[in-house]
A = this chain, B = another copy of it.
């Protein structure tokens, strides 16, 4: 018997990824599935696939913002669209990768919660390194240790490898969830993930 898993490819810069991240733990608990976080660099995925952010199409950007707000309200997820969007997440995604690699990933969950909340609830300007430092220190992380960690070559390499793995599996946006090799894209496909787990 194969264990049930949901592989979750995400980038902090995606509001859709935040909405899925907020809902997936309960969904996986209910289904008896393991949730496997896969931090990737969405900008690199866009570059590799020729895809681009909805932010580049003003009418689409206005609509999807409203659409995210509707989704958040329906599912009771705290959400405020970040006025500084889009945000360059390279350092943050390296940070998530570093947290996975350190201490058996002991601080990974707290790190993700801290960054996602700063980005999609507290409307922090995470393009500003000083703001990032203050946010991390406010959550009990050591900013100096963090900067040292994100500069390590194995961390950079691993983020690159996971991003390339995502592209090789067909990922073109965020969030993307895999149940086995069934791929689902978007916060609005969680019911499909639930169904796939039930049939797995």
Contact = CB atoms under 8 A, between A and B. Distances in A.
B188 A60 contact: no
Interface stretch (A19-27, A128-136, A165-173): A165-173
Contacts of A172: 57, 59-60, 63
A60 B183 CA distance: 11
Interface in A103-144: none
A57 B63 contact: no
A172 B15 CA distance: 20
A62 interface: yes
Interface in A157-200: 167, 170-173, 183, 185, 188-189, 192
Interface residues of A, number: 23
A50 B56 CA distance: 8
A51 B70 CA distance: 22
A58 interface: yes
Nearest to A167: B59
A170 B62 contact: yes
A49 interface: yes
Given A50-B58, A56-B50, A57-B50, A63 B185 contact: yes
Interface of A: 49-51, 56-60, 62-63, 66-67, 70, 167, 170-173, 183, 185, 188-189, 192
19 contacts: A49-B57, A49-B58, A49-B59, A50-B57, A51-B57, A51-B59, A51-B60, A57-B172, A59-B167, A59-B170, A59-B171, A60-B172, A60-B173, A62-B170, A63-B170, A66-B183, A67-B185, A70-B192, A188-B188
